Amino acid sequence: MLSNKKKYIVNGNSGIKAQQIQFADQKQEFNKRPTKIGRRSLSRSISQSSTDSYSSAASYTDSSDDETSPRDKQQKNSKGNSDFCVKNIKQAEFGRREIEIAEQEMPALMALRKRAQGEKPLAGAKIVGCTHITAQTAVLMETLGALGAQCRWAACNIYSTLNEVAAALAESGFPVFAWKGESEDDFWWCIDRCVNVEGWQPNMILDDGGDLTHWIYKKYPNMFKKIKGIVEESVTGVHRLYQLSKAGKLCVPAMNVNDSVTKQKFDNLYCCRESILDGLKRTTDMMFGGKQVVVCGYGEVGKGCCAALKAMGSIVYVTEIDPICALQACMDGFRLVKLNEVIRQVDIVITCTGNKNVVTREHLDRMKNSCIVCNMGHSNTEIDVASLRTPELTWERVRSQVDHVIWPDGKRIVLLAEGRLLNLSCSTVPTFVLSITATTQALALIELYNAPEGRYKQDVYLLPKKMDEYVASLHLPTFDAHLTELTDEQAKYLGLNKNGPFKPNYYRY
Amino acid sequence: MLSNKKKYIVNGNSGIKAQQIQFADQKQEFNKRPTKIGRRSLSRSISQSSTDSYSSAASYTDSSDDETSPRDKQQKNSKGNSDFCVKNIKQAEFGRREIEIAEQEMPALMALRKRAQGEKPLAGAKIVGCTHITAQTAVLMETLGALGAQCRWAACNIYSTLNEVAAALAESGFPVFAWKGESEDDFWWCIDRCVNVEGWQPNMILDDGGDLTHWIYKKYPNMFKKIKGIVEESVTGVHRLYQLSKAGKLCVPAMNVNDSVTKQKFDNLYCCRESILDGLKRTTDMMFGGKQVVVCGYGEVGKGCCAALKAMGSIVYVTEIDPICALQACMDGFRLVKLNEVIRQVDIVITCTGNKNVVTREHLDRMKNSCIVCNMGHSNTEIDVASLRTPELTWERVRSQVDHVIWPDGKRIVLLAEGRLLNLSCSTVPTFVLSITATTQALALIELYNAPEGRYKQDVYLLPKKMDEYVASLHLPTFDAHLTELTDEQAKYLGLNKNGPFKPNYYRY
Amino acid sequence: MLSNKKKYIVNGNSGIKAQQIQFADQKQEFNKRPTKIGRRSLSRSISQSSTDSYSSAASYTDSSDDETSPRDKQQKNSKGNSDFCVKNIKQAEFGRREIEIAEQEMPALMALRKRAQGEKPLAGAKIVGCTHITAQTAVLMETLGALGAQCRWAACNIYSTLNEVAAALAESGFPVFAWKGESEDDFWWCIDRCVNVEGWQPNMILDDGGDLTHWIYKKYPNMFKKIKGIVEESVTGVHRLYQLSKAGKLCVPAMNVNDSVTKQKFDNLYCCRESILDGLKRTTDMMFGGKQVVVCGYGEVGKGCCAALKAMGSIVYVTEIDPICALQACMDGFRLVKLNEVIRQVDIVITCTGNKNVVTREHLDRMKNSCIVCNMGHSNTEIDVASLRTPELTWERVRSQVDHVIWPDGKRIVLLAEGRLLNLSCSTVPTFVLSITATTQALALIELYNAPEGRYKQDVYLLPKKMDEYVASLHLPTFDAHLTELTDEQAKYLGLNKNGPFKPNYYRY
Amino acid sequence: MLSNKKKYIVNGNSGIKAQQIQFADQKQEFNKRPTKIGRRSLSRSISQSSTDSYSSAASYTDSSDDETSPRDKQQKNSKGNSDFCVKNIKQAEFGRREIEIAEQEMPALMALRKRAQGEKPLAGAKIVGCTHITAQTAVLMETLGALGAQCRWAACNIYSTLNEVAAALAESGFPVFAWKGESEDDFWWCIDRCVNVEGWQPNMILDDGGDLTHWIYKKYPNMFKKIKGIVEESVTGVHRLYQLSKAGKLCVPAMNVNDSVTKQKFDNLYCCRESILDGLKRTTDMMFGGKQVVVCGYGEVGKGCCAALKAMGSIVYVTEIDPICALQACMDGFRLVKLNEVIRQVDIVITCTGNKNVVTREHLDRMKNSCIVCNMGHSNTEIDVASLRTPELTWERVRSQVDHVIWPDGKRIVLLAEGRLLNLSCSTVPTFVLSITATTQALALIELYNAPEGRYKQDVYLLPKKMDEYVASLHLPTFDAHLTELTDEQAKYLGLNKNGPFKPNYYRY
């Protein structure tokens, strides 16, 4: 088994010994933030990368008149296979083209596939997955297949499935159970169809939000006897796993891929730097130059938003609770204020906090006419949207995802995506970012599947730093970027292995 | 004793309970990089903040004709005290003015002093210190005094003492033993005079480079029985402490203040963002616009250099060994190359690696005429300067800190500071940055001095994150920055204490 | 008449005397660039501001099944008026809302309306207009009405009319003749219906592209006897006017508003800085970070594109023919190259030249797979798209405005908007920019209409600088920007009138 | 004569015909701003490029004890020549090295020299010059010599002469009359020694500030009969020329090189972008990050200052009187305020207005403690420094060019360079910028000297745009920048000559 794996963790000529990368860095205290989140919202990750783009989906040929539930339809792909349930298998061709386009921007997964031509590190793996179903997920699934795995898949969100992509996967023989606009009942039915199959039992779980894991715990706890590990991508799912672990109920090793460096920096800093502009433009066509903006929260997301808007000529204010992040905001050239100080004068309010009720009704009452309010942080709790559902205020839907909330005196507030995540609702996530996440998921699956007995216990692990570095290195060719190699003398001077890892665990990047 | 301390760790109205901040976060593996560094260079920290500015010093009234060694002079301050040894006690007034100017940019220490008017958390502390002796250090020493401590001080570097400041401290009654241009013998004599005093024995050590600690280990090992802890600021000194700890020879707790967040981000990213421009301008008067620059290394220092030069209109290339940092460079808009690819075309080469022989003679041979070469990383090993000391090359000193190295064909390379750290040699460190470090040192001393028996063992500790946050919060008023406070409801939602710490230990900022 | 006008040229308390602003600065040599442009394309201005946004239009309720030509329908508004021809008068309410939204971002026109409550500087003016018909144009037309003018309007482009807005104008009593998707014949029919009316003869022309002017010259040359002037906004139309003037055939004064400072800087630099990102994102969902981009041309448009992409982390190369602009590119931090040097390596090619065949088939042949090619400059000639219409290449429309052109070896080039202007086709123009243009047009109409006999001859004039400054000042309140006023002493020192103009004509801003 | 010149105006292979560049673009209204400037200050240009760097001079070996006036010394160079008057001819070697270093960054002048090997376009020219005497001026003078001219030179400023450079020029045989620290009387004596020579009469004038021109008008008006033209570089000198012209007293053609594009953009925008940082750092060692700064004036200088400080993390406010520049400031992301709105909160006040009393005593009274005040605009009138010379305020000189002005309550204002130009007093001007100016001067001399009778009248001319473009093109090789050439077809399409000029005169860059 180990020999299978070697090929996937090789960096350059030198060959990284398997042992070097197979130790997860450390157990890790969970970041306790998002504790009270309602049932359904759990399945929407606050991670920006684990989603499709609704707006790009909007351009799809989705307006089929067919209102029959997919569950009630007889469906077969062109090879006669009917072990799937999608909206319309006839849309497969369109979905295939989207997958092919995505492949071009997912170089790392394609590189993994290439290496898989000889050995199959996932041979024998039976992976059940529950993620957003998009072209990028399809590239991941087909890569896992190329690496030897069998997969069954459901959607982690009732709205996010791209029906054409699901159709293309079904056409290619993947048992996919998902469509856009599932009911709550559909949702669990789909998951169950992935898990509860005669003659097939999963030995790996790939989850995004923890619903799949939850279902198996609840309905088929015995399945865990054969399961080698869980790979979980979302903050919410990771949180659930840490809770299970604390309660002593986690019965297999789990890999937290949400907190890997590449994911954090790319999903948050770099991706939001672009998506804040994109989301605002697509919804409002506004001009950024000269606008006054307040950004609540100066974590990675806030940093990205602030940098982008500053570069476009906006005047940006920042609010923070953490003095260290606050000092960073100062040094980066942003006035650090309390929201009340600037709420009357700003043209845009953006929340990036991970917190709740950051923008209250009182703030909303004091905003000036035409002020735009949106959320880049998490969930839909950062702005107290519920407080706007009062009789004296009029809501007017002016465009998709854009509401004018009108005060009795005629003042209008422009609320985007009803306070849900702007970048999920109103912009798209670049494939390149999704590529990083998907590659990390694939490597985590390989690692857990191939780890010798005893390496991982029934606990939650972070990816070994070495793997983070490997994911990064697989993406460098996209930029025609040329890494420098240490000489022997230099490696010795630095006390490093020439192939990494190159940094201590606490390094902040 | 605990009651004494409370005042110093209060944040806002609410009062942080002492217990909350007195647990060092974790023991920590040492970043093993700089292992082989020669004797004397050990006392020059690679930390940018732990130094004075030579160039600003240059403007001082230092050209006294007096060549008598201070050790051979009889010196008394105006109160008749002679327990000190400085260059010229008469320069005290000039030094006092520099100290007063520095006080204005060290708001956090001044705030600590103010709080000390009632209680004295360092009452009974006998601190022996060995650091660069500058106006900023003087503000620290006088703050420690105001907090109740007795101090004796020597210099950690034979060149870095500002004589006027040393004189001002001596005039104020501080036993200071330091002058600019000490011999090796003077250096140790000064340290010894701090430690080896009748009727006074230190119970705290504040070290920068580890020489003082080394001296006590070697000469007065018994002193450690009364010593409550060591606070060490430099990479080198920290490295030595970790070695002692590994070897089981560390006999008191030690606090590594080098790796605190505020220090790392400020000393490296923010400070270098400014000092790279300053250092290049002061030495070469060059124009940045349109210049092609290669920056070797994209850690915090490299990030700062790249951001500044890009903003000034330079075209910047980056070299890296670590794929994660490399990917960051790409996303930040820099072409990632091997040095050889661009060495013929660039106008400036800057090393920021922590490594050795990054720029070799072969590279130097291939550079174009007038190429500027300098080091922002560490030590003087990043550029292989030794390789330029060959007969066929002519060295011409054109300005202070600027050499032209001339090839037989007339090509000139402009070498700055002979390959030593540009920002130490050719620019100044802003007082504000030094303020952050000095405040961290003061808090570390308070923590170790007041910690109840058993809290710290004979090991090396990182500062509790809470303290990092406290240092940051003390510096926010400088920017008229207003921190937001969590509501009870929000704190509960986030699972955080309203007074912090606000982030998990692994948070990357 | 003059007294009517005064109110509109008042700045602050002091009152600018009418005479001060009524001298056009100078006659002006025409910038001869775009000489050979075909018939229909003439009516599409290269000016970014003179257009609607197709993509925002896309969200409209336009999918009426009604295929009857508007010319064949009987239409009446709610007041029984039928002097108009639009797609569907029932869409008026939706259009009115768009107009109201636009009003909120067109503060300067609203300010003009307010001042018009007393006097009517356009009383008696009969304006025939031919422009894009959008919500912003509607705000302009209704402002002209409020200022006392009667207006009749046609569209300058067969695709750009927003039917709902046209309906709203018709409902309000404006004789509008325009719909989306006119035929060539419809186009001229609409123009004719504006001009050829019994009992109404225009005395002012507002044109965008010169088609209206052309039509009157051709069909109703006698009308010019009563026409007081032409205001022309587009490069193309201005070019035609200069040609008429040279040929001695221009029989009324004309105002070139295309070359006013505010228009140039806003339409080009500031607007393109945003629309390049918007256009690329909406069409390709690409990530900008780390991408290599070549921008052909470093005029205002190129400067805007380069600044935005650099800020988003792209690596930008520039090509130029003008050594001054080339040197600016260098100083701004861009490598100046010939297209051939980088064509194999770049991810995006953007043309901003005003030239033709800047990107040739040879370049296209050498681009790498997935390279994106688009035009931000003018017309559709910058990229030699015709050269791609050859049998060996396959075109695949992957999204609206996005074609994959596929080489026999499988290489795909991503061509946006078939080489037409990206920002017209794939992004929107912020209302704020349109506001500047519309205000300039309104002031130019007022100036020409009220100018005393003899001030303007049968020639083409630039707007007086004073008016440019006035347009700017009307837009400052949007940013809560507070202008400083000169003291008497300062004005004397500078030799300036306290109310401007503040700069010599040759000032470059 | 014409044939001599051809070589100097060739661009690439193609050969620009002399006629194409020999028409000055247009007469031009003078920018009337700086009208009331006192006698001596007239000789200090507000142009940043026409000066040496005092601070770099400070590193020179200038502390000669010799207090004898150079006028009283017998001086001979090594060849026995004594037609000069400098401080100390023995410093020639040091000065020569500085000249050689400067040559490396003045590629355009070196290129002109190279082309001069065959023909001598200035053969017969007798140029009398009065400029700052620096290494860069020396490169210009020696270039003029190489082109065939004879030169005699004096200093335009009593402080700005670099004695070593003057010595080097004298040693090489140039009749130079200048030293650092001339008296008023010395100043005119030196000028007179250049002009009033037996057997030598100038036929060209190169002036910087107009003092030389003034002297000849006053003392030797008959000389103008043989003088072919004046080349003037400073705002002040240009102003004087326009006044002479208006008064009908200008008796030879004059070339205004101050307003050429390259000079304006480079001297102001690009140079100040760097020198504001340099000047502030060298004087105060302050940190820019997080500092609040108000910049008065958003012309080219203000734009440069704002861009640099924003990039370094400062929060920048702008004041403006011109609504167009104000709107630019808004779009570039700066809050536009009146000075009073922010004066209490800012850390730095920078004037860039060209105006007087922009910062008044009232403002100074309201600034906060430690506020830094400096002038980047012109002259020393922008800050009302005189108002600080009152008994209740204490001045304390803390460093060279740095005064603390202390209020009775202890508040200190940090005044730089006593309100004179910061970039002249406290930073250096990059050689590259001086190269552009010097090249422009050389080309203007060639143009005027070789112009056929009648091309230029007794008036003030701007350089032909073609020459601006040529100067720019000579500097592109420094950046390894590759200009694109128009194809014949493209040139025809654009209506341009392939060799330029490429833009209409009103183009704003």
- Indicate which of D315, D341, D347 best probes the interface with A, i.e. most A CBs within 10 Å of its own CB: D315
Strand order in the sheet with D372-375: D335-336, D315-319, D292-296, D348-351, D372-375, D412-416, D402-406, D394-399
- List the single residue in C314, C331, C332 with the smallest CB-CB distance to B333: C314
Question: Do the Cβ atoms of C287 and A274 come within 8 Å?
Answer: yes
Q: Output the six-digit token pair for A354.
A: 């991970």
Site of tokens 């490029």 = D49
Q: How far is B174 from chain A (nearest CA, A)?
A: 33
Question: Do the Cβ atoms of C289 and B333 come within 8 Å?
Answer: yes
Which chain B residue is nearest to residue A311, measuring alpha carbons? Answer: B311
- Identify whether the C-beta of residue B66 lies closer than 8 Å to the C-beta of residue B88: yes
Which chain D residue is nearest to residue C337, measuring alpha carbons? Answer: D482
Distance CA A265, CA A432 (A): 13
Question: Do the Cβ atoms of D290 and A314 come within 8 Å?
Answer: no
Question: Do the Cβ atoms of C321 and D486 come within 8 Å?
Answer: yes
Chains that touch C (3 or more CB pairs under 8 A): A, B, D
The answer to whether A263 is a known ligand-binding residue is yes
Write out pLDDT tens, residues B33-46. 333 233 222 222 22
The answer to whether C304 is a known ligand-binding residue is yes
Region D486-500: mean pLDDT is: 95
Per-residue pLDDT at B505: 82
- List the single residue in B289, B313, B330 with the smallest CB-CB distance to C290: B330
| A202, containing H or E segment | none
Going by C-beta distance under 8 Å and a sequence separation of 6 or more, which residues neighbour residue D306?
A: D295, D298, D316, D318, D329, D332, D334
When the pLDDT of each residue in chain B is averaged and rounded to a whole number, the result is 87
Q: Which value, to the nearest 10 degrees, does the dihedral of the CA atoms of residues A52, A57, A60, A63 take? A: 120
Question: Do the Cβ atoms of B287 and D430 come within 8 Å?
Answer: yes
Q: Output the six-digit token pair for A194.
A: 């992935």
Q: How confident is the model at residue D259 (pLDDT cuts 50, 70, 90)?
A: confident
Going by C-beta distance under 8 Å and a sequence separation of 6 or more, which residues neighbour residue B145?
A: B151, B174
Q: How far is C5 from chain D (nearest CA, A)?
A: 21
Q: How far is D305 from chain A (nearest CA, A)?
A: 15
Q: How far is B61 from chain D (nearest CA, A)?
A: 11
The answer to whether C299 is a known ligand-binding residue is yes
Distance CA C379, CA C377 (A): 7
Per-residue pLDDT at A192: 98
- Indicate which of A31, A265, A469, A484 best probes the interface with B, i.e. most B CBs within 10 Å of its own CB: A484
Per-residue pLDDT at C431: 85
Per-residue pLDDT at C66: 65
- List the single residue in A290, A315, A331 with the smallest CB-CB distance to D290: A331
Residues of D in contact with C485 (CB under 8 A): 321
Q: Work out whether the CA dihedral C6, C11, C17, C18 comes out positive or negative.
A: negative
Residues of D in contact with C322 (CB under 8 A): 469, 500, 502-503
Chains that touch B (3 or more CB pairs under 8 A): A, C, D
Which chain D residue is nearest to residue C500, measuring alpha carbons? Answer: D322
- Indicate which of C60, C61, C103, C274 best probes the interface with A, i.e. most A CBs within 10 Å of its own CB: C274
Distance CA B465, CA B135 (A): 28
Residues of B in contact with D412 (CB under 8 A): 104
Which chain D residue is nearest to residue B270, measuring alpha carbons? Answer: D289
- In this prediction, the residues of chain A whose per-residue pLDDT falls under 50 are 1-64
Q: How confident is the model at residue B66 (pLDDT cuts 50, 70, 90)?
A: low
Q: How far is C291 from chain B (nearest CA, A)?
A: 8
Site of tokens 């792909």 = A77
Distance CA A443, CA A206 (A): 12
Strand order in the sheet with C254-256: C176-177, C150-155, C126-131, C204-207, C229-232, C254-256, C460-462
- Identify whether the C-beta of residue C399 lies closer than 8 Å to the C-beta of residue C416: no
- Indicate which of B54, B105, B281 best probes the interface with D, i.e. most D CBs within 10 Å of its own CB: B281
Question: Residue D414 forms beta bridges with which residues?
Answer: D372, D404
Region B336-347: mean pLDDT is: 98
Residue C248, classified by CB atoms within 10 Å of its CB into exposed (0-12), middle (13-18) or buried (19+), is: exposed
More confident residue, C174 or B48: C174
Helix (H, G, I), strand (E, B) or coil at C318: strand
Helices and strands, number each (H, E), in chain A: 20, 15
Question: Do the Cβ atoms of B289 and D273 come within 8 Å?
Answer: yes
Question: Do the Cβ atoms of D313 and A331 come within 8 Å?
Answer: yes
Q: How confident is the model at residue D11 (pLDDT cuts 50, 70, 90)?
A: very low
The answer to whether C134 is a known ligand-binding residue is yes
Distance CA B300, CA C320 (A): 35
Residues of B in contact with D97 (CB under 8 A): 398
Write out pLDDT tens, residues D182-226. 999 999 999 999 999 999 999 999 999 999 999 999 999 999 999
The answer to whether C263 is a known ligand-binding residue is yes
Per-residue pLDDT at B41: 28
- Indicate which of A294, A314, A315 best probes the interface with D, i.e. most D CBs within 10 Å of its own CB: A315
Per-residue pLDDT at C67: 77
Question: Do the Cβ atoms of C278 and A278 come within 8 Å?
Answer: yes
Instruction: Tell me how many residue pairs between chain A and chain D have CB atoms under 8 A apart.
Output: 37
Which chain C residue is nearest to residue A311, measuring alpha carbons? Answer: C311
CA distances from B377 to B262, B345, C61 (A): 19, 22, 61
Residues of D in contact with B274 (CB under 8 A): 277, 281, 287-289, 312
- List the single residue in D325, D338, D469 with the smallest CB-CB distance to C323: D469
Residues of D in contact with C329 (CB under 8 A): 481
- List the single residue in B338, B357, B506 with the smallest CB-CB distance to A490: B357
Question: Do the Cβ atoms of D310 and A331 come within 8 Å?
Answer: no
Residues of D in contact with B286 (CB under 8 A): 430
Question: Do the Cβ atoms of B476 and A326 come within 8 Å?
Answer: yes
Question: Do the Cβ atoms of B277 and D277 come within 8 Å?
Answer: yes
- Identify whether the C-beta of residue A167 lies closer than 8 Å to the C-beta of residue A89: yes
Tell me how far the alpha carbon of residue C318 is from its chain's centroid.
25
- Indicate which of D288, D330, D331 best probes the interface with A, i.e. most A CBs within 10 Å of its own CB: D331
Per-residue pLDDT at C20: 30
- List the single residue in D320, D506, D508 with the smallest CB-CB distance to C483: D320
Distance CA D77, CA D387 (A): 49
CA angle D439, D441, D446 (to 5 degrees): 95
Find out whether the peptide bond into A477 is cis, omega within 30 degrees of 0: no
- Consecutive sets of 10 residues in chain C, 509 residues long: mean pLDDT of each? 33 30 33 30 28 33 65 94 96 93 90 88 97 96 97 94 97 97 96 96 96 97 96 91 93 93 87 95 93 97 98 98 98 98 98 96 97 94 97 94 96 96 84 91 96 93 92 95 97 94 88
The answer to whether B301 is a known ligand-binding residue is yes
Going by C-beta distance under 8 Å and a sequence separation of 6 or more, which residues neighbour residue A100?
A: none
Per-residue pLDDT at A45: 27
Question: Do the Cβ atoms of B274 and D282 come within 8 Å?
Answer: no
Q: Output the six-digit token pair for C376.
A: 């931000």
Look up the pTM and report it.
Answer: 0.88
Question: Do the Cβ atoms of B285 and D53 come within 8 Å?
Answer: yes
Question: Do the Cβ atoms of D274 and B292 come within 8 Å?
Answer: no
Question: Do the Cβ atoms of D506 and C28 come within 8 Å?
Answer: yes
Q: Nearest Cα to C472, choosing from D295, D298, D304, D296?
A: D298
Per-residue pLDDT at C265: 86
